[in-house]
Chain A
């Protein structure tokens, strides 16, 4: 492996990993705070990506990503609302949640199927990002650098929100000990709504931002969900830092796996999970054996 190639695969993996972080962070936050397993997250990504491709046809790239983000928020809040109709409190019935959100995943995905006839679609990247950068003999698409950079910026904002604001402090307190938070007079309800909306926003942005690379196609609701699962388990449930590290690890392992052992490409990611869980059963930054 030449140095150029190494850098290229690293760049591919990093940009993809950063995009995955946007997706997984919402998933891990809702789980961490509300103990809510939102399987519909994959379909939120899918529908957002489809909306982005539809809006982008006439509206351009920026509008497409904004529309995707909006779609993500709306769908995620719809998941929250239907969960609240069923349960007065979230997080009390995990099997029920899985069934409910799996049902919603199928519903969302079928709405996308009937709206866009199940055809795979794509979003045109903005013109100035259309080219590639040369890395030695090979080249790296400019848009991916942009996608990675923007994802990194969003990840940083999320970190700031989580660590430096009162909202973040409340969420962290809720993740650590929900009863204690409520006992000290903070109502968890509005906090849940905010976290669901934030998770949907991030998934929607991921769908829109990823559309020029990943496109929108039926079946993505599941492939994306698997990525989110792997990252959340690998990073430790509810841990943003863990999700960040795991996203990069998964993205990079995926890139090198495809390049050097293509026959086992599917396996590299899962192999990583097995290794990490054998070493740290709670995930990289998990909360131990709680």
Chain B
């Protein structure tokens, strides 16, 4: 080891030299996070720096790397340049944690001097960073459906509708087109689950349906058997689960003799969990703004690009959101022109942006800053041994 040799040769006399050597090594070792940082200052006004907070660790840790790859790929398509301005991405780990996100956001704003922040896949982190970005007058772009609550910050724009919105639209659709009179609602006992449960109930009741029963199961429930065994006799069951809970819930649903058809909010059946759920997913329906099966040019370009780079790539609303965020950044920089370094003006421009996202046209509600996007209803089918979404139709309230 170089360090040990240095220490033994210096014989204790030039301790400063050793300390410096150690510091250099330590610094080099830590440099992995924000790889694009160095050399940014030289380009001056010609560089637009975008800070990106993604979860690389913690429960959402699995989404960080694919989202980073997608965002990089989208910008690489534009040659990492917009109208002669170099676009530089600075990635940081929000660690599925609001506190970490706040300190990383502060770092990005104060030390990296970013012109906008993409934040965050973690809902609580997005809300926590909101006031910080707002105070620093730095635009904040949410890449996936985030909880309502960013509306009060004029600097924020979320490139996807709220989870409650899709659930509400699905509620209305279930009561009208699907013709269900009563529904049992079961969802995760935390912010996401409560939000979609309330959204679904609002839409369903608004269209004349009644909620027969509402149950919340703790996050990470190992066994849904006992919840399912008391499902009741509703016409339909609405489920609001994500990740491992979604897998277990859908798998266990029919096994416990639940007879009502099952529908849910998108994450229940996203491409990331579909294969793990297996056969049990067939026939289950969901309302959501994204599916890899959507047939439009932006979605095709997104999936082809990513699969070209990595044949095992599984598209989902996380990566589709990262792709749309990339398109959004490019378009917004183009529109902003020389205003790109003026945070308030740039934020306004971002909200005025209209692009083609993998799920269709994306524009923002000028009042709330949340995206206005279509909601689709799809069911799961199996052909050729592969499970996939079958888009039924676009639905609305």
Which candidate, A88-96, A209-217, A236-244, A271-279, is the interface stretch facing chain B?
A209-217
Q: Which of A212-264 contact B (CB under 8 A)?
A: 213-215, 217-220, 223, 254-259, 262-263
Contact residue among A140, A220, A254 (Cβ-Cβ distance under 8 Å from B256): A140
A144 closest partner in B (C-beta): B225
Which candidate, A115-123, A156-164, A194-202, A282-290, is the interface stretch facing chain B?
A115-123
A258 closest partner in B (C-beta): B226
Chain B residues with a Cβ closer than 8 Å to the other chain, count: 31
What is the CB-to-nearest-CB distance from A134 to chain B, in angstroms, rounded to a whole number? 7
Contact residue among A12, A113, A143 (Cβ-Cβ distance under 8 Å from B61): A113
What is the CB-to-nearest-CB distance from B353 to chain A, in angstroms, rounded to a whole number? 32
- B220 — which chain A residues lie within 8 A by C-beta? 219-220, 223
Tell me whether chain A's interface is mostly helix, strand or loop, or mixed: helix
With A120-B244, A122-B251, A132-B256 given, is the CB distance from A215 to B216 under 8 Å?
A: no
With A9-B226, A12-B229, A122-B276 given, is the CB distance from A258 to B257 under 8 Å?
A: no
- Chain B 155-182 near chain A by CB (<8 Å), digits 1 or 0: 0000000000000000000000000000
Contact residue among B215, B254, B276 (Cβ-Cβ distance under 8 Å from A121): B276
Query: With the chains together, A263 CA to B223 CA distance in Å?
Result: 15
Chain A residues with a Cβ closer than 8 Å to the other chain, count: 41
Q: B120 in the interface, Cβ–Cβ < 8 Å?
A: no
- A119 — which chain B residues lie within 8 A by C-beta? 62, 272-273, 276
Would you call A118 and B276 a contact (CB within 8 A)?
no
What is the CB-to-nearest-CB distance from A256 to chain B, in angstroms, rounded to a whole number? 7
What is the CB-to-nearest-CB distance from A5 to chain B, in angstroms, rounded to a whole number? 6
Would you call B223 and A12 a contact (CB within 8 A)?
yes
Q: Which of A124-156 contact B (CB under 8 A)?
A: 124, 132, 134, 137-141, 143-144
Tell me whether chain B's interface is mostly helix, strand or loop, or mixed: helix
Q: A27 in the interface, Cβ–Cβ < 8 Å?
A: no
Q: A51 in the interface, Cβ–Cβ < 8 Å?
A: no
B242 closest partner in A (C-beta): A120
Q: Which of B202-245 contact A (CB under 8 A)?
A: 215-218, 220-223, 225-227, 229-230, 243-244
What is the CB-to-nearest-CB distance from B240 to chain A, in angstroms, rounded to a whole number? 14
By CB atoms of chain A within 10 A, which of B229, B254, B273 has the most? B229
With A132-B257, A265-B218 given, is the CB distance from A215 to B244 under 8 Å?
A: yes
Would you call B257 and A218 a contact (CB within 8 A)?
no
Would you call B230 and A259 a contact (CB within 8 A)?
yes
By CB atoms of chain A within 10 A, which of B215, B216, B256 has the most? B256
A-B contacts at CB below 8 angstroms, number = 103
Q: A8 in the interface, Cβ–Cβ < 8 Å?
A: yes
Contact residue among A16, A120, A140 (Cβ-Cβ distance under 8 Å from B273): A120
Would you call A255 and B62 a contact (CB within 8 A)?
no
| Residues of chain B at the chain A interface (Cβ within 8 Å) | 59, 61-62, 215-218, 220-223, 225-227, 229-230, 243-244, 247-248, 251-252, 254-257, 272-273, 276-278
| Residues of chain A at the chain B interface (Cβ within 8 Å) | 5, 8-9, 12-13, 16, 113, 117-122, 124, 132, 134, 137-141, 143-144, 213-215, 217-220, 223, 254-259, 262-263, 265-266
Q: Could you list 28 examples of A-B contacts with CB < 8 Å?
A: A9-B229, A12-B226, A13-B226, A16-B222, A113-B62, A119-B273, A120-B243, A120-B273, A137-B257, A141-B256, A143-B255, A213-B252, A214-B223, A215-B244, A218-B59, A219-B220, A220-B220, A223-B222, A254-B223, A255-B223, A255-B225, A257-B226, A258-B223, A258-B226, A259-B226, A259-B229, A259-B230, A262-B215
- Other than the given A132-B257, A258-B221, A262-B215, 10 more pairs (CB < 8 A) read A16-B223, A124-B278, A134-B257, A138-B256, A141-B225, A141-B256, A214-B222, A218-B62, A220-B220, A257-B226
